[in-house]
């Protein structure tokens, strides 16, 4: 049994365990300053720096930070934010920094920032306030550590939230999930928090609200997006576990109707695709605004990498499966448009498990004429970054190639150019010597010229 999964008997985290915030901020500056765009080189960064000095509300800063990230200037924004915090350490703004680092760019450094924040007296002083920076930091750390396969550490952070907000359903769900994992490993999960056992079961009560299900027994939530939430469920008719994806909201208003139309367009696209490497559509219930999908127990590709269920040596296997999924999608004249690690699921939580391409919410079928530019910058084809072309099967192939390149390089990150808006040749980032001729395959998928992105002939 791995020692890192055992419960730490100390409260998490105790004062003095983490590095001082100033030291961690210096680490951020040292890492991201080289190559960062300066405020004088981009008006958006200059405006961001000015807003930091003028103390505009944090939620507006968060919105501007995300906009800069989408535009490819995240490195420069992080440097500006860290430098400002170095002079004026304000917890709520440092929490913005931690969240951006945790969002795949540098999770380990994001954890360092969050833990350093917990050593600040003003944060510690708000520990019993519901919704305080203290509880937000603990919730953030709990979610990340649970996701990273460290339930013992995550459990203590969930308990810190519940100590202030005993009926917080999200923290309770996480706490119960950690307890189950640890008990399955034969570890003690004795809690010093009063009321947790009494409230055990609140999550099930909460999940059942708003559903009128006869065929499906609803279980725990698996994930939540902007417009929908996914639950694990049991199909009484077939006796199998499934995933239920349900729209949020009441369906009223023009915007809600547009979202609902896209939601069921996803179902129609999935209904036409036949591949063992694409998530399967099992049922559609328009009256309750949900669809039923095959259940994947291994999380998404990013989670599987962090949990060491998948690694660079799996490139030939995962690559073959992802390209087979793309062939099936393109065979029905559909374009996925948002291929990235979080939209690639792993069937089982064990090494060697197959993948399944999922989340067709942005997919297009039988389209002609201009379309709205969507997707994630890091995984965009060169011609989409510069607006020279429309989404196509060729741009899907680039996205798949970037995902597979990220897998091949792991744990090293993708080169910085992938997170910037400027045009570049992604094939130049492919290393030599990848197994089974995958260096050549990736260069073909990532070719700057779309005409050279042929569907590769690969071994089974």
Question: Mind telling me the catalytic residues?
Answer: 338
Beta carbons within 10 angstroms of residue 287's beta carbon: 6
Q: Enumerate the β-bridge partners of residue 374.
A: none
Q: Enumerate the β-bridge partners of residue 364.
A: 335
The full 3-state SS of the chain, as one line of letters, equals CCHHHCCCCCCCCCCCCCCCHHHHHHHHHHHHCCCCCCHHHCHHHHHHHHHHHCCCCHHHHHHHHHHHHHCCCHHHHHHHHHHHHHHCCCHHHHHHHHHHHHHHHCHHHHHHHHHHHCCCHHHHCCCCCCCCHHHHHHHHHHHHHHHCCCHHHHHHHHHHHHHHCCCCHHHHHHHHHHHHHHHHCCCCCCCCCCCHHHHCCHHHHHHHCCCCCCCEEEEEEEEECCCEEEEEEEECCCCEEEEEEEECCCCCCHHHHHHHHHHHHHHHHHHHCCCCCECCEEEEEHHHCEEEEECCCCCEHHHHHHCCCCCHHHHHHHHHHHHHHHHHHHHCCEECCCCCHHHEEECCCCCCCCEEECCCCCCEECCCCCCCCCCCHHHCCHHHHCCCCCCCHHHHHHHHHHHHHHHHHCCCCCCHHHHCCCCCCHHHHCCCCCHHHHHHHHHHHCCCCHHHCCCCCCCC
The residue to which tokens 């034969």 are assigned: 186
Structure tokens at 49: 């720096």
Closest CA to 28 of 115, 98, 122: 98
- Which residues have a Cβ under 8 Å from the Cβ of 124 and sit 6 or more positions away? 15, 118, 134
The residue to which tokens 């003028």 are assigned: 54
First to last CA, the chain: 35
Structure tokens at 425: 């040749």
Q: Enumerate the β-bridge partners of residue 292.
A: 244, 283
Inter-residue contact 80 to 52 (CB < 8 Å): yes
């Amino acid at each position: 049994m791995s020692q890192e999964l055992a419960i730490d008997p100390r409260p998490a985290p105790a004062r003095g365990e983490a590095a001082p915030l100033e030291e961690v901020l210096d680490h951020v500056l040292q890492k991201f300053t080289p190559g960062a765009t300066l405020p004088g080189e981009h008006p958006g960064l200059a405006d961001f720096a000015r807003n930091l000095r003028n103390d505009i509300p944090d939620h507006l800063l968060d919105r501007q930070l995300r906009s800069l990230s989408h535009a490819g200037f995240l490195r420069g924004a992080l440097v500006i934010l860290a430098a400002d915090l170095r002079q004026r350490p304000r917890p709520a703004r440092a929490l913005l920094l931690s969240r951006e680092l945790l969002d795949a760019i540098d999770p380990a450094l994001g954890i360092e920032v969050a833990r350093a924040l917990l050593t600040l007296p003003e944060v510690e002083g708000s520990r019993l306030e519901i919704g305080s920076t203290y509880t937000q930091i603990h919730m953030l750390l709990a979610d990340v550590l649970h996701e990273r396969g460290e339930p013992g550490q995550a459990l203590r952070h969930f308990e810190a939230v519940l100590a202030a907000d005993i009926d917080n359903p999200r923290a309770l769900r996480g706490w119960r999930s950690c307890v189950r994992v640890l008990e399955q490993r034969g570890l003690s999960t004795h809690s010093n928090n009063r009321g947790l056992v009494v409230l055990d079961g609140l999550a099930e009560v909460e999940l059942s609200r708003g559903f009128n299900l006869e065929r499906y027994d609803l279980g725990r939530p698996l994930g939540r997006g902007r417009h929908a939430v996914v639950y694990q469920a049991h199909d009484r008719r077939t006796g199998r576990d499934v995933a239920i994806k349900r729209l949020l909201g009441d369906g009223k208003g023009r915007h809600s109707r547009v979202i609902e139309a896209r939601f069921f367009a996803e179902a129609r696209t999935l209904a036409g695709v036949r591949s063992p490497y694409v998530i399967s559509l099992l049922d559609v219930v328009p009256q309750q605004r949900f669809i039923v999908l095959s259940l994947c127990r291994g999380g998404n590709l990013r989670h599987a990498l962090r949990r060491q269920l998948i690694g660079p040596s799996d490139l030939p296997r995962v690559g073959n499966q992802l390209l087979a999924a793309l062939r099936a999608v393109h065979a029905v004249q559909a374009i996925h448009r948002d291929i990235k690690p979080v939209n690639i699921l792993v069937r089982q939580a064990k090494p060697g498990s197959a993948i399944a391409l999922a989340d067709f919410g942005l997919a297009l079928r039988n389209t002609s004429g201009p379309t709205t530019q969507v997707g994630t910058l890091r995984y965009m084809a060169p011609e989409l970054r510069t607006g020279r072309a429309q989404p196509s099967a060729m741009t899907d192939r680039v996205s798949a190639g970037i995902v597979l390149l990220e897998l091949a390089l792991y744990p090293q990150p993708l080169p910085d150019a992938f997170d910037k808006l400027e045009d570049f040749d992604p094939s130049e980032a492919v290393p030599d010597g990848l197994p089974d001729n995958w260096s050549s395959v990736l260069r073909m998928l990532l070719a700057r010229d779309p005409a050279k992105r042929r569907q590769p002939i690969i071994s089974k």
